[in-house]
């Protein structure tokens, strides 16, 4: 039986891998109010001359996102990139089949790139290509428009539109969720693999150094999961750098114990995709390693969306309120646990996108004409992005367990640690999945780490596990200083509050 105290040891020689900055990416899709009245709201008191909300920009900077995937998502599989460039007054209004809404194209590629520029140097674009209803030719046209300096028809068109300098997009997604029957232009693995290979091959004729992402399964529960990855990678292995993973989690039927253990599913998903990638590589006798782009992940209450649509079917509205989940403390603890899983697999997960950035299942909410505020999930992401850079240490914890209906026996402690190679500082991120009990934690620290003090001890928890931040009470839930942590000859000791996300920074 495991001890009632959770324990692990940290040693500078035992590491998982370096955290890639793209692990802290996000996602902006033309869905609901993510763009319109989220990022972009001309006439708002906080809007700049381009219509970008300065209050939102400040929160996105604080959140610390890096690569931002755009413009979808399901939206991209019916998207014509040409509609989103040039004078706004000349852009056509289009029907978006994915979400049954009307897209005005008032915010497009140029506006998105301007948004990234205002976020700062750490924000980079991750553009998704429409391989649902379009193909190789259109992908090459967008690549030329975006990246060619001057002297070609499409580069000169961009310059004529007011963007003299090329956008320099390095990372491209070859379609979105094309294994899914819901996707416009849904394809079999053979159909998609061939199209993805031809698109990648053509794009590399222009620039061999692009970073390309092939579509993996939309989730681990897809009937074609595994077989899809194997067939797609057999076609594309030497042409792409990443394969994508998407996963969303929600509490169902009141089973909070299983919900709190959602990262067990994410963990197995990652390991199963890694195994498939390496199996294909072995068959092809390749020494190349395909990386993973977990470019959609979050807590998402999908049943609420379906209930909303069933009650009031969409009739082509513009920027309706869709997927606006309001997150609780419990959701934030699960969210933090998912972040821990991504960090624990930093050797293979080298890109990840929190879906989405504003209003739509997002860490940031806005009110049209009104304020912007942080959801509970904002805090674990901001802390991990700021303090989770460096080298992930190999953490193998001995923890008490509890039984779940969905995942069987699961550890109460979910944790990782990241070391800054320059300063030597170590940050421990930990989740206590117990809904009622404090979890004692003991961490043995190798002398080579030379850690002498606790720099910060921050906890996100609440007496009400369903507490949330709202328009009326935007600061109901915030992290608070932890109590009782100590650093001594025997290492670090702490008491993890019930149902909590904890960050302890050691210097």
User: Residue 506 has which token pair?
Assistant: 């050691």
Could you report the per-residue pLDDT of 227-256, keeping only the tens digit for each? Answer: 999 999 999 999 999 999 999 999 999 999
User: Residue 205 has which token pair?
Assistant: 């004729």
The yes-or-no verdict on residue 169 having pLDDT over 90 is yes
> What percentage of the chain exceeds 90 in pLDDT?
99
Select which of 177, 235, 251, 497 is catalytic.
177
Could you report the per-residue pLDDT of 188-221, keeping only the tens digit for each? Answer: 999 999 999 999 999 999 999 999 999 999 999 9
For β-strands 101-103 and 500-506, DSSP reports them as unpaired
**pLDDT band at residue 367 under the 50/70/90 scheme:** very high
Query: Does residue 296 have an active-site annotation?
Result: yes
The yes-or-no verdict on residue 148 having pLDDT over 60 is yes
Domain 20-387 fold is TIM Barrel (3.20.20)
Could you report the per-residue pLDDT of 82-110, keeping only the tens digit for each? Answer: 999 999 999 999 999 999 999 999 999 99
Nearest residue to 431 (alpha-carbon basis) of 467, 384, 492, 469: 384
The yes-or-no verdict on residue 288 having pLDDT over 90 is yes
- CATH number assigned to the domain covering 6-11+394-506: 2.60.40.1180
The values of phi and psi at residue 212, to 5°, are -120, 140
For residues 36-49, average pLDDT: 98
Beta strand segments in 327-438, E: 349-355, 364-366, 372-374, 391-393, 401-404, 408-411, 413-419, 426-432
Q: Tell me how crowded residue 192 is: count the other CB atoms within 10 A of its CB.
A: 25
Q: Please report where in the chains the tokens 């004529």 appear, as a residue.
A: 160
d(CA 200, CA 208): 10
For β-strands 426-432 and 413-419, DSSP reports them as antiparallel
Q: Tell me how crowded residue 11 is: count the other CB atoms within 10 A of its CB.
A: 14
Which pLDDT score, from 0 to 100, does residue 2 have? Answer: 45
d(CA 453, CA 424): 12
The yes-or-no verdict on residue 279 having pLDDT over 60 is yes
Quick check: 108 and 114 in contact, CB under 8 A? no
Could you report the per-residue pLDDT of 376-404, keeping only the tens digit for each? Answer: 999 999 999 999 999 999 999 999 999 99
For residues 446-468, average pLDDT: 97
Angle formed by the axes of helices 54-63 and 109-119, to 10°? 60
The values of phi and psi at residue 203, to 5°, are -65, -35
Quick check: 417 and 10 in contact, CB under 8 A? yes
Helical segments of 5-108, H only: 54-63
- Provide the β-strand partners of residue 291: 242
Could you report the per-residue pLDDT of 32-41, keeping only the tens digit for each? Answer: 999 999 999 9
The values of phi and psi at residue 439, to 5°, are -115, 110
CA dihedral 405, 409, 414, 417 (to 10 degrees): -140
The yes-or-no verdict on residue 1 having pLDDT over 70 is no
Select which of 111, 231, 296, 497 is catalytic.
296
**pLDDT band at residue 292 under the 50/70/90 scheme:** very high
DSSP letter at 20 equals P
Quick check: 395 and 402 in contact, CB under 8 A? no
Q: What is the average pLDDT score of the chain?
A: 97
**pLDDT band at residue 471 under the 50/70/90 scheme:** very high
Q: pTM for this one?
A: 0.97
For residues 318-339, average pLDDT: 98
Same fold, 6-11+394-506 and 20-387: no
Q: Which residues contact 328 (CB under 8 A, 6 or more apart)?
A: 376, 465, 466, 467, 468
Rg (CA), the chain: 23
| Domain boundaries, given as residue ranges, for the chain | 6-11+394-506, 20-387
> What percentage of the chain exceeds 70 in pLDDT?
99
The yes-or-no verdict on residue 271 having pLDDT over 70 is yes
Judged by DSSP in three states, 52 sits in strand
**pLDDT band at residue 3 under the 50/70/90 scheme:** low
DSSP letter at 342 equals H
d(CA 242, CA 67): 15
Which pLDDT score, from 0 to 100, does residue 322 have? Answer: 96
């Amino acid at each position: 039986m495991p001890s009632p105290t959770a324990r692990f040891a940290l040693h500078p020689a035992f590491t998982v891998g370096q955290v890639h900055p793209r692990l802290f990416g996000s996602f902006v899709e033309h869905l609901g109010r993510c763009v319109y009245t989220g990022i972009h709201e001309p006439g708002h008191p906080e809007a700049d001359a381009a219509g970008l909300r300065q209050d939102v920009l400040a929160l996105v900077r604080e959140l610390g996102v890096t690569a931002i995937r755009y413009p979808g998502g399901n939206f991209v599989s019916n998207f014509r990139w040409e509609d989103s460039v040039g004078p706004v007054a000349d852009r056509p209004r289009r029907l978006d089949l994915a979400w049954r809404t009307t897209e005005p194209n008032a915010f497009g590629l140029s506006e998105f790139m301007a948004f990234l520029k205002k976020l700062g140097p750490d924000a980079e674009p991750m553009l998704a290509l429409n391989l649902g209803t379009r193909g190789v030719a259109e992908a090459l046209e967008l690549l030329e428009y975006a990246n060619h300096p001057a002297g070609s028809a499409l580069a000169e068109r961009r310059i004529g539109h007011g963007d003299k300098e090329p956008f320099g997009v390095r990372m491209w997604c070859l379609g979105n969720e094309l294994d899914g029957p819901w996707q416009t232009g849904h394809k079999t693995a053979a159909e998609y693999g061939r199209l993805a290979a031809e698109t990648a091959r053509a794009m590399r004729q222009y620039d061999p150094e692009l970073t390309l992402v092939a579509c993996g399964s939309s989730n681990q529960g897809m009937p074609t999961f595994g077989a899809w990855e194997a067939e797609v990678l057999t076609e594309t292995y030497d042409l792409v750098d990443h394969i994508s993973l998407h996963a969303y989690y929600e509490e169902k039927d009141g089973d909070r114990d299983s919900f709190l253990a959602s990262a067990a599913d994410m963990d197995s998903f990652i390991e199963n995709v890694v195994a498939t990638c390496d199996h294909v590589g072995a068959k092809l006798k390749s020494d190349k390693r395909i990386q993973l782009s977990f470019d959609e992940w979050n807590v998402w209450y999908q049943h609420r969306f379906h209930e909303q649509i069933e009650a009031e079917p969409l009739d082509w509205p513009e920027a309706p309120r869709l997927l606006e989940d309001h997150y609780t403390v419990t959701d934030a603890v699960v969210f933090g646990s998912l972040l821990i899983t991504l960090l624990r697999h930093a050797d293979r997960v080298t890109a990840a996108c929190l879906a989405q950035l504003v209003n739509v299942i997002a860490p940031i909410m806005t009110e049209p004409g009104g304020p912007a505020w942080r959801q509970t999930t904002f805090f674990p992401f901001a802390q991990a992005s700021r303090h989770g850079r460096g080298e992930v240490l190999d953490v193998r914890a001995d923890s008490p367990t509890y039984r779940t209906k969905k995942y069987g026996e699961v550890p109460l402690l979910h944790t990782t640690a990241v070391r800054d190679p320059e300063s030597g500082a170590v940050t421990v991120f930990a989740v206590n999945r117990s809904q009622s009990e404090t979890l004692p934690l003991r961490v043995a620290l190798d002398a080579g780490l030379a850690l002498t003090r606790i720099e910060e001890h921050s906890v996100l928890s609440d007496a009400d596990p369903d507490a949330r931040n709202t328009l009326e009470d935007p600061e109901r839930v915030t992290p608070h200083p932890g109590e009782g942590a100590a650093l001594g000859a025997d290492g670090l000791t702490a008491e993890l509050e019930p149902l909590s996300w904890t960050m302890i920074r050691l210097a």
